[in-house]
Amino acid sequence: MKLTIIGTGYVGLVTGACFAEVGHSVICVDNDAAKVKLLQSGGIPIYEPGLEELVHKNVSAGRLRFTVSTAEGVEQSDVIFIAVPTPPQPDGSVDLSFIEKVAREIAGAMTSYKIVVDKSTVPVKTGDKVAETIKRYCKAQVDFDVVSNPEFLREGFAVEDLMKPDRIVVGVRSQRPVAAMKEIYTPFNAPIIVTDINSAELIKHASNSFLALKISYINAVSVLCEAAGANVQDVANGMGMDDRIGRRFLNPSLGFGGSCFPKDLSAFIKIAEQIGYDFRLLKEVQRINTEQMERFIKKISDTLWVLKDKRIGVLGLAFKQNTDDVRMSPAIDLCHRLQKDGAILRVHDPKAMEKAKALLQDVTYVENMNEVAEGCDALVVATEWDEFKKLDLERARKALSHPIMFDGRNLFDPQEMERLGWIYKSIGR
Ligand code: UGA
């Protein structure tokens, strides 16, 4: 099918590449001319495993191209996907101005029936607004359908999640666009659930909030484990073997971050409030998340006492592994907090150092993870990168003034660390 994706961020670019990979003809539109130029010349603006190869392959095959012109995208495709940012506002609600602007642009360019699909994460009832807007601004007075088709990809695993989805959610107001949506997604071999638009929009917010809740739940349990002398890893394993619960997203941490969970939780709480429900359960999820970071910092200052002029090595800056994304990263937040207390930082991340530089200054960026500990008083693990498990522990131990490690991601085994002579503090163990 001929498809257009408006917005070449994480969701738009990966979706475009994966649609092309299964044989659709895809136009990716972005109003950022520099980004489009970069993509046209073979550059990829984000780090996402497997994406570069996929984009190059499909551009060469003539199934994927990039343009700044929304009108061109609308004219040449049957189905237009909106995948633009929906950033948070100071009160927790979502800024829908990009969605509104794109809806107007699509409306202005439509000369025949189109299916307009919202893929951006939006609060319930946004689909109605998009439909109203298109109707108002469509001079040609042609038919159209609005569809809600939320995305469930995780950064760092985006290509994998998109190519092998658990489910495809399609929210519609009439049956007319269903066949086309099924045709688009048939090659992905996933169950397709067709609902009304409001339900589809709610599925996205309810899913992300539930996953955040699951993380806050295990983080709260980790506090109990520390107080009771239990091991949260064993507790999570034991709970996770019940397949009604499941082991995934039960990894305790210094808190969840990123551009999705914190924003979507706030937005879900806000939209609930606007339609008359006080979602206190989710407010508690937020509170536990904030407290988890406080506890971790307290653990550091309880051990190192005064942080002023202490040298601390930090492993990890991205909000999680396999990405260079540092938006709302707990690791960056932690660095800022340690700096505020006067600590001097040496930091490393396998992929996120360039992007971190805009947010985190007055630190030493270290290219080799094994050199981070040099001259430091302690080492902190802030992101769950797999390669940190291969850290040269003996070298780090010798490089530190005292072999102290604070592990915010439980990457190492406490007994083994103790045997190797470390003072090792992790989460809930
Ligand atoms: C999340 C969802 O997992 C996706 O399904 C969704 O499509 C996406 O948001 C979105 O709305 O676009 P993402 O933000 O990429 O994906 O990352 P996650 O893997 O969900 O991790 C989020 C945060 O939770 C990270 O800071 C991670 O380190 C933390 N986390 C995750 C934990 O602390 N413990 C866990 O067990 C799992």
CA of residue 128 relative to chain centroid, distance:
26
Residue among 119, 155, 266 to mutate when testing ligand 1 (max atoms within 8 A of CB): 155
Instruction: Measure the N-to-C terminal CA separation of the chain; round to a whole number of Å.
Output: 52
Determine which residue's CA is closest to atom 16 belonging to ligand 1. 154
Query: What pLDDT does residue 382 have?
Result: 98
What residue owns the CA closest to ligand 1's atom 8? Answer: 154
Instruction: Dump the DSSP string for 247-283.
Output: STT----S---TTTHHHHHHHHHHHHHHTT---HHHH
pLDDT of amino acid 302? 97
SS3 state of residue 303: helix
- State residue 85's pLDDT score: 96
Q: Is 196 helix (H, G, I), strand (E, B) or coil?
A: strand
Q: 153 CB less than 6 Å from ligand 1?
A: yes
Q: Give per-residue burial for 389-413: e unless 16+ CB within 10 Å, then b.
A: eebebeebbebbeebbbbbbbbbbe
What pLDDT is attached to residue 304?
A: 97
Give the pLDDT confidence score for residue 19 in this predicted structure. 98
Q: What is the mean pLDDT of the chain?
A: 97
Q: Among 369, 366, 298, which residue's Cα sits nearest to residue 337?
A: 298
pLDDT for residue 173: 96
- Residue 317 near ligand 1, beta carbon < 6 Å: no
Looking at residue 179, its pLDDT comes to 98
pLDDT of residue 376: 98
pLDDT at 386: 97
For residue 202, what pLDDT is reported? 98
With pLDDT > 90 as the criterion, what percentage of the chain qualifies?
A: 100
Mutate to test the pocket of ligand 1, among 84, 254, 261 (most ligand atoms within 8 A of CB): 261
Q: Is 112:145 a contact under the CB 8 Å cutoff?
A: no
Tens of pLDDT, residue by residue over 309-340, are 999 999 999 999 999 999 999 999 999 999 99
Identity (one letter) of the amino acid at 240? G
308 φ, ψ (degrees, to nearest 5): -60, 125
- CA 43 – ligand 1 centroid, Å: 26
Using a 10 angstrom Cβ sphere, with 0-12 exposed, 13-18 middle and 19 or more buried, the burial of residue 277 is: exposed
**Interval between CA 154 and ligand 1 midpoint (Å):** 6
pLDDT, one tens digit per residue, over 351-369 is 999 999 999 999 999 999 9
| The pLDDT of residue 391 | 98
Is the CB–ligand 1 distance for residue 172 below 6 Å? no
CB 218 within 8 A of CB 231: no
Ligand 1 pocket, residue 249 CB under 6 Å: yes
> What's the pLDDT tens digit per position in 225-267?
999 999 999 999 999 999 999 999 999 999 999 999 999 999 9
The predicted-structure confidence for 104-132, as pLDDT tens digits, reads as follows 999 999 999 999 999 999 999 999 999 99
Q: What is the rounded distance in angstroms from the CA atom of residue 348 to the CA atom of residue 379?
A: 11
Edge-first strand listing for the sheet containing 404-407: 364-365, 344-348, 311-315, 378-381, 404-407, 423-425
Looking at residues 383-394, what average pLDDT do you find? 98
Render pLDDT for 35-84 as a digit per residue (tens, 0 to 9): 999 999 999 999 999 999 999 999 999 999 999 999 999 999 999 999 99
Amino acid 16: pLDDT: 98
Query: In whole angstroms, what is the distance from residue 422 CA to residue 429 CA?
Result: 15
Nearest to 19 by CA among 81, 85, 109: 81
Ligand 1 contact, 325 CB (< 6 A): no
Residue 121 structure tokens = 């994460």
CA-wise closest residue to 133 among 119, 155, 118: 118
Report residue 144's pLDDT band, with 50, 70 and 90 as the boundaries: very high
What is the edge-to-edge ordering of all strands in the sheet holding 144-148? 64-67, 25-29, 2-6, 79-82, 114-118, 144-148, 168-172, 192-196
What pLDDT, on a 0 to 100 scale, did the predictor assign at position 63? 98
Catalytic residues: 260
Number of neighbouring beta carbons within 10 Å of residue 221? 18
Find out whether 410 and 233 touch, Cβ atoms under 8 Å.
yes
For ligand 1, atom 7: residue with the closest CA: 152
- Name the residue with the closest Cα to ligand 1, atom 9: 260
- Domains by residue range for the chain, with CATH: 2-190 (3.40.50.720), 230-425 (3.40.50.720)
pLDDT value for 394: 97
Cβ atoms 51, 193 nearer than 8 A: no
pLDDT at 67: 98
Probe ligand 1: pick from 249, 385, 409, max atoms within 8 Å of CB?
A: 249
